[in-house]
Chain A
Amino acid sequence: MDITEFDHHSPIPGTTIFDGKMAMKGYALNKMCYSFNGAAARAQYLADPEAYMEKFGLNDEQKQACRDKDVLAMIAAGGNIYYLAKFAGIYRLDVQDIGAQQTGMTKEEFKEKLRKAGD
């Protein structure tokens, strides 16, 4: 049986369960993002993103998501948020920046949503 034919998880709206299926799909993208733990790798990416993505074997969907800095598209392409956070770090984006981007809010609106969770 192909791994894509069997789903272990019931869907949770707005949530991707990063399981074996996603881990296989996103391996190259996540491996590239993992490399960004090192400052030299980050500089190398910024100097020539296309060459760096090619080196890690990203597919077209992953490359385009990176060019667009589109977090939802990176997740759909198999990206795992813990590694994507290191990609975001290159551009000095924090978790409220990427939260706002994914929910279609301004950063201020997103922070207000977080604050309201405490009411």
Chain B
Amino acid sequence: MAKILGGLTTSHIPAVGNAIHNGLFDDPYWKPFFDGYPPIRAWLDEHKPDLAINIYNDHGLGFFLDRMPTFAIGAAHEYRNEDEGWGIPQLPPFPGAPEVSWHIIESMVEQEFDITSCQELPVDHGFVVPMQLFWPGAPNNPDMPRTIPISANTVQHPIPTLKRALDFGKALRRAIQSYPEDLKVVVLGTGGLSHQLDGERAGFINKEFDQYCMEKIVDDPEALTKISRMELVEKAGAQGTEFLMWMMMRGALGDKVVRRHSNYHIPISNTGAGTMLLECVE
């Protein structure tokens, strides 16, 4: 049976992709951020997952406002990035796991999460940057697991509630655990933490709220479901709503987890950058 080993979280800022590309790991600006990753890589090296489910939010590459899925699940043999408007380097494709995708899609709809299935899905920095942080050189890293992208809408309101995001994760857990073959799975929740790119409030970062979220998500994610979506915009910034991805990830880990590693740094680009490794107990 498939087994969920744990959850990884990280911000997925485009500037990180540039910094990786330019090898700025020891640069004084970047070092406190990149130093958050080696302990997680060591854990991955020890456990060698077969599948990485990457929960991210598309930023206007895979989806446009003509058809905007609230929750979308990739079901492709491979996933390619594109330049996104900024000339981002084109990488070799990330290998998919379509047979597992379809099992998850069947299970999610059975559990009454009416998702959108995607046999083609260009993936943006929200998906690629976390892969490169956790598996340097991705997708060419020899330990690179196969992957399934899951995207939630944070582009256009109404966005999902925090409760719905957590419940999605709980359903995803049941979907993964019912997969009949042996498979070691990690679930990535990427994006956030607090940031706002638009409007007169651009540059808003809320350290106190980020730290509250990083604390509560370990042992009491239910408490975070009390936060309304407008309160999330107010406290985390307009794009801090990406925290929904962390909630989806957390739901997939079961009731009890152990925090193996955590890092928080301000600022990376316009963002409070958070990184965590949560290990499943049961």
Contact = CB atoms under 8 A, between A and B. Distances in A.
A37 B15 CA distance: 17
A23 to B, nearest CB: 5
Q: Interface on chain A toward B: helix, strand, loop, or mixed SS?
A: helix
Interface in B43-66: 59-61, 64-66
Contacts of A34: 60, 64-65
Nearest to B269: A95
Interface string A80-119: 1111111001100011101100110000001001110110
Contacts of B15: 94-95
Given A15-B201, A102-B199, A81 B265 contact: no
Contacts of B207: 117-118
B155 interface: yes
Contact of A115 (B86, B87, B267): B267
Interface residues of A, number: 47
B11 interface: no
Q: Interface on chain B toward A: helix, strand, loop, or mixed SS?
A: loop
Contacts of A102: 198-200, 202
A89 B86 contact: yes
A90 B82 CA distance: 15
A117 B266 contact: yes
Nearest to B61: A37
A31 B202 CA distance: 23
A17 interface: yes
B267 A118 contact: yes
A98 B239 CA distance: 15
Contacts of A82: 59-60, 155
A72 to B, nearest CB: 7
B65 A30 contact: yes
Nearest to A31: B64
Nearest to B85: A86
B270 A18 contact: no
Contacts of B17: none
Interface of B: 15, 59-61, 64-66, 82-87, 155-158, 196-207, 230, 233-234, 238-239, 265-267, 269-270, 272
Given A18-B156, A31-B64, A94-B269, 13 more contacts: A15-B198, A15-B238, A17-B157, A19-B158, A37-B61, A80-B60, A81-B198, A83-B60, A85-B197, A86-B60, A103-B200, A103-B202, A118-B205
